[in-house]
Structure 1
Amino acid sequence: MSSTGYVTLSRQGGLMNEMRIVANNIANAATTGFRQEGLVFSEYIRTAPDQPSLSMSRAQVRNTSMEQGALTQTGGRLDLAIEGEGFFLIQTPAGQRLTRAGSFATSANGDLVTPEGHPVLDAGGAPVFVPAGADVAIADDGTISADGQPLGQVGLYLPADPLQLKREDGVRFDSPAGVLPAEDARLIQGFLEGSNVNPVLQIARMIEVQRAYEMGQSFLETEDQRIRNAVKTLIRS
């Protein structure tokens, strides 16, 4: 394959990755607490002895948008939305994870849990207890009161090193460097934060990526035909 073919293939691979990411964003446009993803393209130089260097395309780094999603009033007493920078901290079998999805319920033993049953942690890193049948009120700092009596506080956290934050699935993130209290975030009871995906922009981006990929594919086919013709000419001569 010619050098131009290798360069084009590196770009095509990046475009395929971006198409998958954009499609996943669109699919999660209605997912509570979902954070939109993007792909970062970069250049790397491929060198070989006695060969000219090649400027190749690489698209392996993903970035996550932390823009605020739209808040929707649900009236659910255990539906919580975060306004500002911050995450809920939950305990999963794989360890503690961060999330913005605040649709919670209570377990059989009274713990505040996610729909998957993972306990929500308080400001001290312990599970949050909510008495069954109690009239629960949750203040904007996360303080939980039942029948007027304070019981605990839902923890709000930030990753200690945002650059190490890793998406584990659609709405959960791993922070290998640990977490810190989110001082400026506040909770709103009875609301949920929606996905921060803009479907119109994502569909427009999907069309752009598709057209760019088709253009690259057309170039590869033309280049392949050029090489075939050149080989045929050399054989005949």
Structure 2
Amino acid sequence: MQTGYYAATGGMVAQFNRMDTIASNLANANTTGYKRDQLITGDFARLYKTAQSELPIQNQTEEAAQYFNRALSRVPQITDSFTDHSLGSMQRTDNTFDMALAKEGQFFAVNTPQGVRLTRDGTFTINDEGKLVNKQGHEVLSADYFQTKTAIKFTAQDSIITIDKNGLISSNVPDSLQMSANKKLLVVEPQNLRALKKEGENLYIPESSDPLTPLAESGSVMQGFVEKSNVNAVNEMIALVEANRLVGMYQKAMDSQMNDLNRDAIEKLARKG
């Protein structure tokens, strides 16, 4: 068995996966509120050491646990992935319904046909019914939504609308400058960020067991701003070039294993014959 060939193949597959992730990050470099994804590359040896006491070998004997497949010990492979939830830069828009969250790990909530989803993209607008919705037309939820099931709505007379740092919405009394409280945005802080799953359209699926309790004082809502992506295009391009070069190196290693070494072996066998 040419173990070097299989090691190079494993390394190439890992780099292909890495390139896919980098390409996705670059494609969303200008997506409001997008959070970059990152892969973790490990090898069989590390995976083995973390699970060697639970190997599915009869009797779980000490002698059996000494088994170690050195032929596969250093094959690179993707062992984990995670989303980097660090803050992106804040961009001022001065649009009434543009909102950003200035604290890491907090999210707005929207109601989709598939259920409640979370998002960092605060580019909201008003639909024909006067409801506050996101770019996909999904209803933006209020802090009391799970109790009242009512939407955040505005009328044509609401000419002045302000939103404070905790998400409390106020609008003017008709034909006056006096402000009255409206709804409050549902801003949540999931218990486990690693449990969030990206669904597409800049939405996250929360963990089913998470109660999505509204924050009484989030202190992070910024009206008239949007949060830009936390993707650094320069760093991603450097990583893409690195991954591409590694693919080329693995390809050369595979070619050497299959052609040069095989040809050398055949010539030696022919001479002996």
TM-score w.r.t. length of structure 2: 0.79
Asked whether the 8 Å contact 1:165–1:175 carries over to 2, the reply is yes
* Cα deviation, residue 8, structure 1: 1.7
Q: What is the aligned counterpart of 1:175 among 202, 206, 213?
A: 206
**Whole-angstrom CA distance in 2 between matches of 1:51 and 1:39:** 26
Structure 2 equivalent of residue 6 of structure 1: 6
**Whole-angstrom CA distance in 1 between matches of 2:198 and 2:107:** 13
**Whole-angstrom CA distance in 1 between matches of 2:220 and 2:204:** 20
Structure 2 equivalent of residue 96 of structure 1: 116
Moved more, 223-232 or 62-71: 223-232
**Whole-angstrom CA distance in 1 between matches of 2:132 and 2:267:** 74
SS in 2 for 1:181: coil
1:170–1:63 distance in 2 versus 1, CA, 3 Å: farther
Structure 1 equivalent of residue 58 of structure 2: none
**Whole-angstrom CA distance in 2 between matches of 1:234 and 1:170:** 60
Moved more, 136-145 or 158-167: 158-167
Rg larger in 1 or in 2?
Answer: 2
* Cα deviation, residue 185, structure 1: 4.6
Structure 1 equivalent of residue 232 of structure 2: 198
Asked whether the 8 Å contact 1:160–1:175 carries over to 2, the reply is no
Mind listing any 5+ residue stretches in structure 1 that lack a counterpart? Answer: none
TM-score w.r.t. length of structure 1: 0.91
Asked whether the 8 Å contact 2:187–2:218 carries over to 1, the reply is no
Structure 1 equivalent of residue 44 of structure 2: 44
Q: Is 1:131 aligned to residue 155 of structure 2?
A: yes
Q: What is the aligned counterpart of 1:150 among 170, 181, 185?
A: 181
1:132–1:110 distance in 2 versus 1, CA, 3 Å: same
Structure 1 equivalent of residue 59 of structure 2: none
1:51–1:32 distance in 2 versus 1, CA, 3 Å: closer
Moved more, 130-139 or 89-98: 130-139
Structure 2 equivalent of residue 212 of structure 1: 246
**Whole-angstrom CA distance in 1 between matches of 2:268 and 2:214:** 70
SS in 2 for 1:163: helix
User: What count of residue pairs does the alignment treat as equivalent?
Assistant: 237
- 1:42-71 alpha-carbon deviations (Å, 9 max, x no partner): 222589x99944223221532111111111
* Cα deviation, residue 133, structure 1: 4.8
Asked whether the 8 Å contact 2:165–2:218 carries over to 1, the reply is no
* Cα deviation, residue 22, structure 1: 0.7
**Whole-angstrom CA distance in 1 between matches of 2:88 and 2:236:** 15
Identity of aligned residues (%): 27
SS in 2 for 1:188: strand
**Whole-angstrom CA distance in 2 between matches of 1:170 and 1:43:** 33
Asked whether the 8 Å contact 1:131–1:146 carries over to 2, the reply is no
Within a 5 Å distance, the mapping from 1:36-75 to structure 2 comes to 36-45=36-45, 52-53=69-70, 54-55=72-73, 56-59=75-78, 61-75=80-94
* Cα deviation, residue 84, structure 1: 0.4
Structure 1 equivalent of residue 61 of structure 2: none
Letter in 2 for 1:25: N
Mind listing any 5+ residue stretches in structure 2 that lack a counterpart? Answer: 49-54, 56-63, 173-178
* Cα deviation, residue 129, structure 1: 2.1
Letter in 1 for 2:249: M
- 1:183-212 alpha-carbon deviations (Å, 9 max, x no partner): 545111111111111111111111111111
**Whole-angstrom CA distance in 1 between matches of 2:188 and 2:124:** 17
